[in-house]
Amino acid sequence: MDIVKRTISAILNLVYPKNCFSCGKNGAYFCRSCLKNLELDLPPRQSLQGLCSGGLDGLIAIGSSKNKSLFKAIKFLKYNGIKEVAFDLSGILAERIKSEIPDWKSGIIFSPIPLHPARERSRGFNQAELLAEATAEKLGVALKTGLLKKIKDTPPQARTSSRKQRFENIRGSFEVAPDPVLKEARIVLIDDVLTTGATMSEAASALKKAGAKIVIGAVAARG
């Protein structure tokens, strides 16, 4: 098995060489110094002001999508599905969660924002799930990938021109699977990027209606 993993890793390194997204240094997607700088570039505690916050109780982000190296990393993860990128980003997100949620060890459940099944089959992976898996593993918390289902194959939010259209586009898109774990649960919803908050807010509202007590969003970048 180790030989297989090393072979796969070698092939991936040929196709997608590990160059730092910030300085270009070979060997890692974020070299140590640039990763440290990215950690220092953390935004202040995120406000829900301006978001449709019917379901969200808080928001945590690694940084801004205006950060060029962070934006490049997210695009690379989203369109290439390289797990090692999610692993690097998850380390910073995990630290953010620990600092923003003091009692994070007490009954927190991670849930990624799902893709519609047709979209996930086409892409071959869900970037939010890759990030959620890596972050949950680092923190040693429960991960539930099937709590939410995307039941409407909506156009990508990035192609929707206005804030109002984004909220209308995503309305009624999520269904929550019956699960006793949801009763009074504290959920951390994971996604790659938050712009208007439409997707995250709609998903959080669905979880609240199904019994969740608290829903906090956690993203790699806030637009």
What's the pLDDT tens digit per position in 37-95? 776 666 555 555 555 456 789 899 988 888 888 988 998 898 888 888 898 899 889 99
Domain 43-222 has CATH 1.20.58.220: no
**Rounded-to-10 torsion of CA 179, 184, 190, 193:** 120
Mean pLDDT value across residues 131-153: 93
Q: Which amino acid is at 19?
A: N
Strands laid side by side in the 186-194 sheet:
58-64, 214-222, 186-194, 108-112, 142-143
Q: Are strands 214-222 and 186-194 parallel, antiparallel or unpaired?
A: parallel
pLDDT at 157 exceeding the cut of 60: no
pLDDT at 140 exceeding the cut of 90: yes
Q: Are 46 and 61 in contact (CB under 8 A)?
A: yes
Assigned token pair, 1: 């098995």
Q: Are 149 and 111 in contact (CB under 8 A)?
A: no
